[in-house]
Structure 1
Amino acid sequence: MTPAAALDGMLDRTIVAGYSRFGYDIRRRGWPAGDPRPNALAGATVLVTGANSGIGKATAAGAAALGAAVLMVVRSPRRGESARRDLLAETPGAELVVDSCDVSDLVEVRSFATNLVVRQPRIDAVIHNAGVMPEHRAETDQGHELALATHVLGPLLLTELLLPALAAAPDPRVVLVSSGGMYTQALPTADVEYRGGDYRGAVAYARSKRIQVALAPILASRWAENGVTVAAMHPGWADTAGLAQSLPGFRRLTRPLLRTAEQAADTAVWLVATAARLPSGRFWHDRAARPTHYLPTTRYTDGELERVWRYCADAAGLEP
């Protein structure tokens, strides 16, 4: 192992160093210059959910700066248009379109995607960034726990319905924005919807992010015939409005260490813009593939993974 690789691994395992802005600053020194190249996404269409603020907004800005036409998919058109104006001030002439869809609502997702593939027959990349951390357990109109629906079920259904448009692109890519918090959670094989026990929003968030990462290899295999590369990634700790609202105590303690939204979005943008051929189904952080487990208590069997996959596919209305 090279000294650089050893340092990188140490940063990852110490968490505070690796997930903070210091980890980003150290690692970026080893990244090759010119990757991604200027205008790497010229002519491409990139869809970003949750693009009105925080990491999603920074992701949309990064894709637009590389020449992409960006579809900013948001729940609130008003907030989406405000974000669009901000991004146009940063990148005049950028092609930015605001679309409204609550990705937790599977009926709304189906309607949105059906209409989108008609007017947008080619989509080069989908970045599933929309996220929630409910204070109390809540269910969607379809009866699914809100974090699961937002982070897993909605993205599954949306991607599946957009496959014809993705298959029309020369190198389609799908990115699931996960969280390092998933390392703390086992796969919830017996209670995917978090119906039992004391509900905690941070735990619900991390559980659903564990499911995202666990399903990534299955989705990579499922969508391979459409040429789609699947990647899950985590952005590290970022100073965003969402963090301030959901985890104010954590933000107060760690604020000097937190990344900017742009630093947190870097790997998501790189994953869809780099010319490198990426292995599909992997979990990434700071432009490198990472282990999916550090604790023995989070490991699961193939049978347990299959059960969770079948539950999520059925809940999203897909054939497993």
Structure 2
Amino acid sequence: MAQTLTQIRNWNATLKAARPNMVALFVGGTGGIGRSTAVKLAGAVATPTIFIVGRNEKEGAEVLEELKSTNNNGTYSFLSADASHLREVDAVCQKLKPELSSLDLLFMTIGGLSFSKIEGDNNIDVNHILRYYSRMRFIQNLIPALEASKSPRVVSILGGGKEIKIEEDNFDLKKSWSFTGGAGYASTMVSVAHEKLASENPSISFIHGFPGVVSTPLFKKFLGPIFGSIVGFLSTPVSMSSSESGEWHTYLSTAEQFKSKDASGNGSYILNYDGKDLTNEAIMTELREKDFPTIVWKHTLDTFEKLA
């Protein structure tokens, strides 16, 4: 059920008492939705512990300063990693292990628009690695810390509700790549993998979210400064600010109605930024009937061996 901005602000205001000591990890938290959500969460929680993973150390330092200025009672850390390489994902998770006795929130936004294929490790498109394989690797590595939390949640912001029919021999997009296909495959694989993971880890809730149109540096980053500025300007009437997006995603990251399977019988959710269910039942039913949650996850584990 969709919420109003007033409702979610009221909810977020309860977190200081309800979730005073949240521990959160933001992968892709140096800019855009990840950064704005980290800042809003820091302001909403009494004594937060927030880890930021990103590639740019300068931007990482800036985020830490913003978090401290938002709530000086929190503990904040930045870890540098290029998540397009699974070995760096593993390395940063290994660094975190001694500091994460439990993890309440894993929030991931890595990857973005891609108008051409760039081959990375094992000749897989770099953006596909970021949007799918690296996110799943973070989850796999951090499941013990998540299970140690009383209310663990994984939030992956990508293309919830934009699932498509996918071919079993093209999961890694080596057979065929396109702009729309790349986005659709990643979104679909995240949704079915979440279902598989929720069934195997019933204490953890998994959210695949669609962010809506958000005014972030994304357009300039991927379209260039001139065309990106034009697209950003044209989208202004239908877009929300980065700050408002942070409020919505703080709500998604903490709201009680998106509980784990133990509590709700579900555990995996496909949601709009405002909490509206975006599940495409026709597509998801077809994927389940073909056992794609199991097949995709097996492919994922096999691919991990090639990428790690």
How far apart are the structure 2 equivalents of 1:222 and 1:250? 42
Q: Deviation at 1:235?
A: 1.3
Instruction: Write out per-residue CA displacement over residues 4-52 of structure 1, whole angstroms, 9 at most, x where no aligned residue.
Output: x7xx6xxxxxxxxxxxxxxx8xx33555834561414321210011111
What amino acid does structure 1 have at the position aligned with 2:162? Y
Aligned to 1:308: 296
Q: Deviation at 1:183?
A: 2.0
What amino acid does structure 1 have at the position aligned with 2:271? W
Alignment RMSD, CA only? 2.9
Q: TM-score, normalized by length of structure 2?
A: 0.82
Q: Deviation at 1:281?
A: 0.5
Instruction: Write out per-residue CA displacement over residues 164-189 of structure 1, whole angstroms, 9 at most, x where no aligned residue.
Output: 21122111111111225x62743343
Instruction: Write out per-residue CA displacement over residues 130-179 of structure 1, whole angstroms, 9 at most, x where no aligned residue.
Output: 22333321233343222221122112111111122112211111111122
What amino acid does structure 2 have at the position aligned with 1:28? L
Within a 5 Å distance, the mapping from 1:89-238 to structure 2 comes to: 89-179=69-159, 183=162, 185-197=164-176, 199-200=178-179, 203-224=181-202, 227-238=203-214
Residues 1:41 and 2:19 aligned together:
yes
- Equivalent residue for 1:70, pick from 50, 58, 61: 50
Indicate the larger mover: 141-150 or 73-82.
141-150
What amino acid does structure 2 have at the position aligned with 1:54? G
Q: Deviation at 1:291?
A: 3.2
**CA shift in 2, pair 1:295/1:238, >3 Å:** farther
Q: Is the 8 A contact 1:172 1:228 kept in 2?
A: yes
Residues 1:28 and 2:15 aligned together:
no
Question: Structure 1, unaligned stretches of length 5 or more?
Answer: 9-23
How far apart are the structure 2 equivalents of 1:203 and 1:141? 20
Aligned to 1:21: none
What amino acid does structure 1 have at the position aligned with 2:61? E
What amino acid does structure 1 have at the position aligned with 2:211? P
**CA shift in 2, pair 1:198/1:159, >3 Å:** closer
Indicate the larger mover: 29-38 or 170-179.
29-38
What amino acid does structure 2 have at the position aligned with 1:235? P
Instruction: Write out per-residue CA displacement over residues 247-276 of structure 1, whole angstroms, 9 at most, x where no aligned residue.
Output: 536434322211112332334322332344
Q: Secondary structure in 2 aligned to 1:33?
A: helix
Aligned to 2:278: 291
How far apart are the structure 1 equivalents of 2:284 and 2:27? 32
What amino acid does structure 1 have at the position aligned with 2:196? I
Q: Secondary structure in 1 aligned to 2:162?
A: helix
Q: Deviation at 1:239?
A: 0.9
**CA shift in 2, pair 1:88/1:307, >3 Å:** same
Q: Is the 8 A contact 1:63 1:269 kept in 2?
A: yes
Q: Secondary structure in 2 aligned to 1:262?
A: helix
Instruction: Write out per-residue CA displacement over residues 284-311 of structure 1, whole angstroms, 9 at most, x where no aligned residue.
Output: 1244341322886995353261433321
How many residue pairs were aligned? Answer: 291
Q: Is the 8 A contact 2:271 2:279 kept in 1?
A: no
Q: Secondary structure in 1 aligned to 2:171?
A: coil
What amino acid does structure 2 have at the position aligned with 1:55? I
- Equivalent residue for 1:273, pick from 254, 259, 265: 254
What amino acid does structure 1 have at the position aligned with 2:168? T
Indicate the larger mover: 65-74 or 127-136.
127-136
Indicate the larger mover: 235-244 or 304-313.
304-313
What amino acid does structure 2 have at the position aligned with 1:53? G
Q: Deviation at 1:277?
A: 5.7
What amino acid does structure 1 have at the position aligned with 2:207? A
Identity of aligned residues (%): 17
Q: Deviation at 1:79?
A: 1.5
**CA shift in 2, pair 1:32/1:72, >3 Å:** closer
Q: Is the 8 A contact 2:198 2:268 kept in 1?
A: yes
**CA shift in 2, pair 1:196/1:276, >3 Å:** closer
Q: Is the 8 A contact 2:272 2:278 kept in 1?
A: no
How far apart are the structure 1 equivalents of 2:9 and 2:32? 26
Aligned to 2:38: 60
